[in-house]
Structure 1
Amino acid sequence: MTQKDPIFQLCDQVRETSFALHSYLRQGHKESVYEIGLHHRLNKKGIPAERQVPLQVLDEDGTLLGNLDIDLLVSGELIVEIKAARALAPEHTAQLLGYLRACRREHGLLINFGAPKLEIRKYALSQEFPEFPQTSSI
């Protein structure tokens, strides 16, 4: 039996925790309830997770274009974007991919707690990022 890459093990842990949270809470709550719940349960399991991690978006010349807040940053490498919508939409995917590019992370999960059946999608970007100024410290 081959050992899984650590990032895939981490994704599995986040998925399992999300399923347990969705089974308990079901649909119908605000995004923040699921975000706080997932953050709490991950930390309780000893999986480090940060909520509302600030991210600066910079232009190629270093000009600040805006600030964003990432829902969860798990183990310093996995971005988790949480939704409470009837269904995931293309703009949700675009938002997560934008976060991955802006903070130069390779892996992200898009999790929708708002549907009757929990939706989880994993996204991975190439390690080759365009040259632009460093963003925030995450």
Structure 2
Amino acid sequence: MYLYQDLTYKLRGIFFEVYNNLGPGLPEKVYQRAIIWELKSHKIPYETEKIIDIIYKGTKVGQQRLDLVVSEKIIVEIKAVDNIHSLFVKQTLAYLKASSYKLALLVNFGGDKIIIRRYIN
């Protein structure tokens, strides 16, 4: 069993549902809105565009905006690109490090198939 297994399973189902209905080639915001629609219909709590503070040696030095936080547990970063560039992976890992969350899902809707990557803090 792995971290947040049941919730992750539900989210993967939602991501595939969105991809199967919309396909690739749309802007990230479209996929985000479709995911939100599914989260609402499944009564799964979420926050969108959540702001987290970046702290350096006890001082706030910046902020970052997360696409989605689901059930106050999982960061969901949404991309709609041909390939997941290493920059997106580094960005997702930085979000985990800067936050109190333990799990992030990086989801790419832009390719010929959906890609879901899981990262643990």
TM-score, length basis structure 1 = 0.83
1:135 corresponds in structure 2 to: none
Q: Distance in 2 between matches of 1:6 and 1:57?
A: 25
Extract unaligned runs of 5+ from structure 1.
126-138
| Alignment match, 1:39 | 36
Higher strand share: 2
Cα distance in 2, alignment partners of residues 12 and 18 from structure 1: 10
Q: Is the 8 A contact 1:39 1:50 kept in 2?
A: no
The size of the alignment, in residue pairs, is 121
Which residue of 2 is the match for residue 129 of structure 1?
none
Q: SS state of the match for residue 86, structure 1?
A: coil
**Aligned partners of 1:43 and 1:5: how far apart in 2?**
25
Instruction: Give the structure 2 partner of residue 136 of structure 1.
Output: none
Q: For residue 22 of structure 2, what is the aligned residue in structure 1?
A: 25
1:7 aligns with 2:8: no
Deviation at 1:66, TM superposition (A): 1.3
**Which consecutive unaligned segments of at least 5 residues does structure 2 have?**
none
Identity across matched positions, percent: 31
TM-score by length of 2: 0.94
Q: Deviations over 1:45-98 (max 9, x none)?
A: 011111100111121132x22111100100001000000000111111111111
Distance 1:104 1:6 in 2: 15
Structure-to-structure mapping, 1:57-76, within 5 angstroms: 57-62=54-59, 64-76=60-72
The structure with the largest alpha-carbon Rg is: 1
Q: How does 1:40-119 map onto structure 2 within 5 Å?
A: 40-62=37-59, 64-119=60-115
Task: For residue 104 of structure 1, report the CA deviation from its aligned partner.
Answer: 2.0
Question: Residue 20 of structure 1 aligns to a residue in which SS?
Answer: helix
**Runs of 4+ deviating beyond 4 Å:** none
